[in-house]
Amino acid sequence: MMSVNHTHNPALKSWVESANQPDSDFPIQNLPFGIFRRRGTSEPFRAGIAIGDQILDMQAAHAVSAFDVALDASLSALSLPKLNTFMSLGQGAWSAVREAVSAALAVGSSLQDTLAECLVAQSEAEYDVPAHIGDYTDFYTSINHATNVGKLFRPDNPLLPNYQWIPIGYHGRSSSIAISGHSFHRPNGQLKAPDAEVPVLAPCKRLDYELEVGIYIGTESPLGHPVKLADAEQHVFGLCMFNDWSARDIQAWEYQPLGPFLSKSFASTVSPWIVTMEALAPFRQSWTRPAEDPQPLPYLDSHDHRNTGAVNMHLEVLIQTAKMRADGVSPERLALSNFNQSYWTIAQMVTHHTVNGCNLKPGDFFGSGTQSGISRDSVGALIEATVGGREPITLSNGEQRTFLEDGDTVTLKGWCQNDSAVRIGFGEAAATVLPAIDY
């Protein structure tokens, strides 16, 4: 795990004044990476670092020789349209860039006048998925979510026998992962009502969101070589917000015997910014497993991991319906939970993923699975909040939802905060549901 250092100092302030606001997602203690260009231009996409309401254009900073030549390889990689090459350089390179940018953006920096010309307002930018995602694995790490969904189908035995032993996952569709702000059409698929003799092809009627944390792999691991738990986070570049949209009625018909397919592959949404594992160092927590539960096998357990394996990351779901938008009503919170309740950790996901010799590549992506708390207002999907659609939720304007309707915009947000560190945020992952396309 990365250690707390001078870049996390709560007293550190930036000459970019908006970064010093207490509610900013992007103070100088954060410095997340993303891929952007000025909106409406044909400029090439390139890497930027978020600071307050601005973006430090790393290609422009390199062009004016703002940083030491020792960082040239990293800065050249940050001029490319994806972060994969920079990710492949490893923690040493990631930390060196973070340290240099922190010093350059701090109050009193001699580079203020130079770098002020390298800033682009976030309001004037458009974003791309930060990395080329070659492979995407979606996990199922929230025991509360697994239990809530299991109760709908197996009331007497909601958890399958392997859940408490294995970080369960399935291989997802990387090509349909899109950046926040997009819209997507309601998917068509085979639906089979419980009382129907045959299925029909029709638009999904039970469209759902899933509140997840996205995990970007940085450095590769060789094929045939498992990654040990103690080394797992060395391969992790950082985290983002992730919405794995789900067609529950398509899923119910197709998922046995091989799991999700068309119910998941039509759309997924990521937030633009990747918050590095180093930025998260002040928000690490102990990870525990209830004493009455099966304890992880030795390859998934250690004293150090139990001390610092969890991340105290607040997670929020908001909805804005088409009517709310037309009436000028702001998005409304549906749920608030925390990633520290995850039954399986980031390191355990990486370790189990590779224990059979499966290799990792820079830009590989993991979804944490839907993150749910215990209470109804902390669950990360409508299938839980409405008990399978049987108990609709009522919004403040009187509208009701069992599942999502056309025109609904769902926004996921995340942030970390505690009494000894400056709050940092993840930005947002938002997308809007469009009507299905006639088949």
Known binding residues are 138, 140, 154, 210, 212, 244, 251, 255, 264, 268, 370
Amino acid (one-letter) located at 364: D
Mark the binding-site residues for Ca(2+), compressed into ranges.
Answer: 138, 210, 212, 244
What count of residues does the chain have? 439
Q: Is 130:216 a contact under the CB 8 Å cutoff?
A: yes
Tokens read off for 210? 């899933």
Distance CA 80, CA 86 (A): 9
State both tokens at 387.
């008990």
H/E stretch holding 349 reads: helix 346-354
| Cβ–Cβ < 8 Å for 228, 213 | no
Q: Which residue has the tokens 């299925």?
A: 199
Catalytic residues: 145
d(CA 131, CA 124): 21
Helix (H, G, I), strand (E, B) or coil at 40: coil
Residues tagged in the binding site annotation for substrate: 140, 154, 251, 255, 370
Three-state SS annotation for 231-277? HHHHHEEEEEEEECCEEHHHHHHHCCCCCCCCCCCCCEEECCCEEEC
- The sign of the dihedral angle between the CA atoms of 78, 83, 85, 91 is positive
Residue 70 is classified by DSSP as G
Closest C-alpha among 73, 387, 352, 51 to residue 228: 352
Locate the DSSP E strands across 13-145.
33-38, 46-51, 54-57, 119-121, 125-128, 136-139
CA angle 431, 435, 436 (to 5 degrees): 110
- The separation between CA 368 and the C-alpha centre of its own chain, rounded to angstroms, equals 8
